Structure 1
Amino acid sequence: MAAIGSAIGLGNIWRFPAVTYENGGGAFIVPYLLALLTAGIPLLILEYTLGRRYRSSPPGALRLLTRPAEAIGWWQVAICFVIAVYYAAVLAWAVRYIGFSVTQAWEDNPDGPEGFFFTDFLESAETPGEISTFVPGVAWPLILIWVLVLAILIAGVRGGIERANLVFIPLLVVFFLVLVVRALTLDGAGDGLDALFSPDWSALDEGGVWVAAYGQIFFSLSVGFGIMITYASYLHRRSDLSGSALVAGFANSSFEILAGIAVFATLGFMAAQAGVAVSEVSDSGVGLAFVVFPQIISEMPGGAFFGVLFFASLVIAGFTSLISITQVIVSAVEDRVGLGRRAAVLSVGGAVGVVSVLLFANDSGLYILDASDHFINQYGIVVAALVLVVTVAWVTRSLKSLQRDADATSAVGLGRWWRICLGVITPLMLAWMVWDSLTDEFDENYGGYDTSFLLWAGWGAAVGALVVGVLLSLVRWRRTPRQPAAEEDGATTATGTSTNGTTGTTGTTGTNGTTDERGQ
């Protein structure tokens, strides 16, 4: 449930429907499912196996794989820092919009929801990067978000994260099922679904459609930046890895399709009200959530209730992802510095929260978020994942031993297909994604922003994460991760005795005097 909570995030709701619509509609499901089976789930299994085998956060786990790979682990931690900083800001916006939906506050602005969002709420500056105004309407919900995240993380992986997801994920599904039922009863819903799912089979001849399919799977599954390695480090040594990956992968994709139905049924209603084609009202990302949907809320019967459910769903989906992202940073500090849980959460998580408020509770917050998100995704997560896969498959040639570890405790055997996917298909597709994105990048500046702004807010975030990762890997840390000892069943875990009397993980004692949760 924690892994599903991490995978299901904002991108499932506001990215998948638009990507599907723009890349062949129903025909897009074919490359999408192939991408899930040949890249998404194999990567999930790889990260689960690395995490459980080495019982450590990404820097420690990859150091045990091969010493130079520790830099990849710290690179992933730095990427998580960047993402956590801006991801929380979007959740803060959604929190405010729960209240705005009740009063439909945007109706007082002469420019409607768009003017309200950019001018009244965010107070966006005319020039990107010029910070001149503090925005308290963003600051206080942002502080609230971080207080809740830190409280859950202090409670621990089992006592906090797992319990939170056992509540939030079922609640999210219930909310979205209600949204789907309501959306399907609207006039024009059928037209919206036709626009989304009517297949354009000719689109499958275009390479860009396949890149989009692999990109969507990759970005929506939370792979490539250490989350699943971190979560899997707390798994019991007999946990079913391939089965867990299949459940998480298909649960994530099922929710994406559910979100697509809700979003496009609602867009069909808006198009019918305006007397235009669905293509004229479709959007994605921030524009869909904070401009298009408020307009729909104003026009539909019972719009306030619909709006509260929609924005509450955004908050829940994003919140479970934010917890997992921040946990990567906290776990790395716990493992490598030796801090206790509470100290690690308050120091590291608190620092992330402070940076988040300083950067995004101002009139340039939206611009910084847009540039950082684009570059850290395209040239941070993707490139880091590519380097990780190449290191595991080609440099250390560890796929066979990792496969034995996974197969020893999994109901579904991996077989040769898993090694082919990770050794050939996944790295080729990741490299293609990077090349395709770079080609567009050099044709014109992203978003039409000035080069100077992109250098620090965009490229600075992506390249900075890499530089920080390399520098941190050169530091001599207080604690060095311990090499696991091989066991008779072919699986490997760190030596030590767990609380149930079986051979388990190191079970080290933190500075707060409690046993590390990996020792249970």
Structure 2
Amino acid sequence: MEALKKVGRWLAPPPDRAEDGRDTWPSRTAFLLAAMGGCAGMGNLLRYPSQVYNNNGLQWFVPYLMAVFLIAIPALVLEIAIGQAYRGGSVVANNSLNHRLKGAGLSLLYVGFVVGPYFVVNLAWIMNYFRNSFISPLPWTGRGEEFYMRDVVANVDPIIGNLTDNGHAVLNYTRFPGVGMVGETVGWTAFTWFLVWLCIFRGVGLTGRVVYFTMGLPIVVTIILIGRSLSLENACEGVKLMWAQWHGGKLANGEIWQTACGQVFFSTGVGFGYFTSYASYNRKHSNAVVDAIVIVASNVLFENIAAFTVFGVVGFLGLWPQAGVRLGSFTVGFLTIPQAVTEMPGANFWAAALFFTLMVLGFSSAFAMLDAVVTLIMDSGTKCGRALVVTALTVISFLLSLPYCTEFGYYLLEGVDRWTNDVALVFVVFTECVSSTTVYRWHDVVGQVGLPSFVIYNFGYLGGMFIGVAIAHWVNAGAGAAAGLGVYAVCSIISSATGKAPDAKTPKYFAQSTMASRFWWLAFYSGNQLRRDLNGIVGHGNNWEIPTFWAPLLRYISAPVLAIVFSFSYPAFYRLRYEPLHILGFGIGHIALIIIALGFIVPRWFDVLIPPARRGEGHIPYAPGVMIDGDERSKRCSREVESGDSSSMEVPSSPAEK
């Protein structure tokens, strides 16, 4: 019995502990592999080729790389840095930024909790392929699309609805005759959720070992598949489809920008909340900036190299894109990669290896999304053990997967996936960019320039984006840009000309006049102070510091780009409003917006998710320009909770109140 216990402790070791008593990763490598595993999955091997196929040509890389460099990396630096610095998951860390951002933190976890159930159903379809890999000849040989849609997905064809000729009204709603459950999909879904439970029930000690396997095997198999795919006849024509064609006119269509942002967020994991949770188990002074760059760079490299596997087969099969036809998020991947395997010697062996690899790669993303929710509950101070929490959440997630296991589940998945990405995911990342650079330590700004100036400036900042994108859709892009920039410029001038004269130190470039000094406090202080406070922790020693341009990039580049991308959701939905499952998905996506709003308006409703000793961390004392790190804030809050002096948690908004 003792020997069995030793084996159990070796396979599922208890996690290490940091100085503050929090669980920690066994090593930095374990954290990086877990983070990479969270983002490197079916989104790379299956979803990414499908999105590139729908937007074929070099023009795809314009919005794609802009989303990577202007949004994904800065946002990931934020998510990792606050998790590591404030030692908590998404809700706890955002509460430490400001007590009104608890809803913003919860919205990130909501996105992952919505995606997880249908993501696992995709894994169940992969396991269906895995089972059929032992049949010779492979049953999808020569009938890839038919096998996928009829044998694996096994959905009944819907009766497609339509709009009136002028598009102003719905003539008929789409109907779905099939409502039964697909038994095999249910079985494999239950099995996959069991694997998820197995990987996270013990904590990061076990997860840190699992990821070595979940990341190593896929890389080896992918390299082999690339070689075989590129050796097929006419493979070069498929590669040209991705790398050697230019369709510049597509860049005028908002859909390609929306798709690129959604893909980058989906594949890198930005906006799902699990990076903050994972980073909270790092050593406090780990190198967060380098970690963020390595994670995103490895993901971009992996999915673009792995795409050769699919596009070699696209050329071999002659699967050329058709104008006006948009394939589902995973369709091309499910059709082309299995077909590539049928052309290999020992096809059954490689088919089994491929789909086992896809399963391993995929459920590392699945358990990352669920683990973020587990971290939320464990951080809240619950008395339930981790194993019980993981079990309960796994069962709930399985029940949420069941609607996708029906004979209309594929179409439900398409509707929920599209609008979760295009609405919820884009907006929660927009909220991250705006809130971290606007709300953080805003009392310092109000104390220096006055509340009216703060309100006027931010009305111009947010209102300019709203008015600009609205006019761009109603009139044209030029008019929208002029209107948005005009509103922002007018409000900036008014707020900078009428505010109080700041009495705290201002950078020399803005200290030459009172008006310029006010503008600096309004436009740059919050984000710059967050950068300084975080660098006191994550930029410790020889670590890379968060650069000066990081906060302005988030606020004035990332946020406006995301606002523009988000605005394309509504015209796109208007054209699909005859699809009931798209209507459902559109509504599910907007729940994230409601959570964010409620957190800002009634933050006390979310206090149950924060340990009592840490609820006051979001009330930062008035101290313009003074660095305040997480340790000082936690100690202050603990003293206030112990003394019962809740009034001291309220933050003065001016020097006089201080």
Amino acid at match of 2:149: F
How far is 1:180 from its partner?
0.8
How far is 1:438 from its partner?
1.8
1:355-374 correspondence runs (5 A): 355-356=400-401, 358-374=402-418
SS in 2 for 1:260: helix
* Identity in percent: 26
> Using the alignment, how far apart are the partners of 1:119 and 1:207 within structure 2?
33
> Using the alignment, how far apart are the partners of 2:189 and 2:136 within structure 1?
21
- 8 Å CA contact 2:50–2:331 kept in 1: the answer is no
Amino acid at match of 2:224: V
How far is 1:138 from its partner?
0.7
Amino acid at match of 1:401: Q
> Using the alignment, how far apart are the partners of 2:595 and 2:326 within structure 1?
39
> Using the alignment, how far apart are the partners of 1:121 and 1:20 within structure 2?
24
- Residue 188 of structure 1 corresponds to 234
Indicate which of 32, 49, 70 corresponds to 1:17: 49
- Residue 207 of structure 2 corresponds to 161
Query: Is 1:233 the equivalent of 2:365?
Result: no
- Residue 55 of structure 1 corresponds to 87
1:289-308 correspondence runs (5 A): 289-298=333-342, 301-308=345-352
> Using the alignment, how far apart are the partners of 1:193 and 1:113 within structure 2?
20
> Using the alignment, how far apart are the partners of 1:98 and 1:434 within structure 2?
38
SS in 2 for 1:103: coil
1:202-281 correspondence runs (5 A): 202=248, 206=252, 208=254, 209-271=256-318
Amino acid at match of 1:141: W
Amino acid at match of 2:202: A
Query: Is 1:492 the equivalent of 2:620?
Result: no
Query: Is 1:474 the equivalent of 2:605?
Result: yes
User: Number of matched residues?
Assistant: 485
- Residue 143 of structure 2 corresponds to 112
Shift of the 163–473 alpha-carbon distance from structure 1 to 2, 3 Å rule, reads farther
> Using the alignment, how far apart are the partners of 1:203 and 1:121 within structure 2?
37
Q: Deviations over 1:15-60 (max 9, x none)?
A: 3334445546345435433432221111110001111122111112
1:112-511 correspondence runs (5 A): 112-127=143-158, 132-157=179-204, 159-200=205-246, 202=248, 206=252, 208=254, 209-271=256-318, 285-298=329-342, 301-338=345-382, 339-356=384-401, 358-396=402-440, 398-404=526-532, 405-406=534-535, 408-409=539-540, 411-445=543-577, 449-450=579-580, 453-456=581-584, 458-467=585-594, 470=598, 474-477=605-608, 479-480=611-612, 482=614, 483=617, 492-494=629-631
> Using the alignment, how far apart are the partners of 1:46 and 1:11 within structure 2?
22
SS in 2 for 1:477: helix
> Using the alignment, how far apart are the partners of 2:326 and 2:567 within structure 1?
28
- Residue 517 of structure 1 corresponds to none
Shift of the 60–218 alpha-carbon distance from structure 1 to 2, 3 Å rule, reads same
Amino acid at match of 1:216: Q
> Using the alignment, how far apart are the partners of 2:247 and 2:582 within structure 1?
37
1:34-73 correspondence runs (5 A): 34-73=66-105
Query: Is 1:102 the equivalent of 2:234?
Result: no
Shift of the 284–348 alpha-carbon distance from structure 1 to 2, 3 Å rule, reads closer
Q: Which runs of 5+ in 1 are unaligned?
A: 498-502, 507-520
How far is 1:370 from its partner?
1.4
Amino acid at match of 1:421: L
Amino acid at match of 2:400: V
- 8 Å CA contact 1:267–1:278 kept in 2: the answer is no
Amino acid at match of 1:324: A
Shift of the 9–473 alpha-carbon distance from structure 1 to 2, 3 Å rule, reads farther
**TM-score using structure 1 length:** 0.83
- 8 Å CA contact 1:78–1:465 kept in 2: the answer is yes
- Residue 656 of structure 2 corresponds to none
> Using the alignment, how far apart are the partners of 2:182 and 2:604 within structure 1?
37
> Using the alignment, how far apart are the partners of 2:157 and 2:239 within structure 1?
37
> Using the alignment, how far apart are the partners of 1:310 and 1:495 within structure 2?
51
- 8 Å CA contact 1:393–1:422 kept in 2: the answer is yes
Aligned Cα root-mean-square deviation (Å): 3.3
> Using the alignment, how far apart are the partners of 1:425 and 1:87 within structure 2?
31
Q: Deviations over 1:60-100 (max 9, x none)?
A: 21122111211112222222221111111000110111122
How far is 1:305 from its partner?
3.8
SS in 1 for 2:608: coil
Shift of the 50–348 alpha-carbon distance from structure 1 to 2, 3 Å rule, reads same
SS in 2 for 1:289: helix
- 8 Å CA contact 1:215–1:433 kept in 2: the answer is no
Q: Which runs of 4+ in 1 moved over 6 A?
A: 278-282
> Using the alignment, how far apart are the partners of 1:148 and 1:248 within structure 2?
24
Amino acid at match of 1:307: A
- Residue 510 of structure 1 corresponds to none
- Which has the higher mean CA deviation after the structures are superposed, 22-31 or 253-262? 22-31
> Using the alignment, how far apart are the partners of 1:199 and 1:329 within structure 2?
43
Q: Which runs of 5+ in 2 are unaligned?
A: 1-32, 159-174, 443-525, 639-658
Amino acid at match of 2:590: V
- 8 Å CA contact 1:50–1:61 kept in 2: the answer is yes
- Residue 512 of structure 1 corresponds to none
How far is 1:194 from its partner?
1.9
Shift of the 173–34 alpha-carbon distance from structure 1 to 2, 3 Å rule, reads same
Shift of the 152–432 alpha-carbon distance from structure 1 to 2, 3 Å rule, reads same
- Residue 40 of structure 2 corresponds to 8
- Which has the higher mean CA deviation after the structures are superposed, 219-228 or 17-26? 17-26
Shift of the 321–300 alpha-carbon distance from structure 1 to 2, 3 Å rule, reads same
- 8 Å CA contact 1:60–1:481 kept in 2: the answer is no
- 8 Å CA contact 2:313–2:336 kept in 1: the answer is no
- 8 Å CA contact 1:330–1:349 kept in 2: the answer is no
Amino acid at match of 1:348: L
**TM-score using structure 2 length:** 0.67
How far is 1:363 from its partner?
1.6
- 8 Å CA contact 2:104–2:595 kept in 1: the answer is no
Q: Which has the higher contact order (CA 8 A, sep 6+)?
A: 1
How far is 1:495 from its partner?
7.4
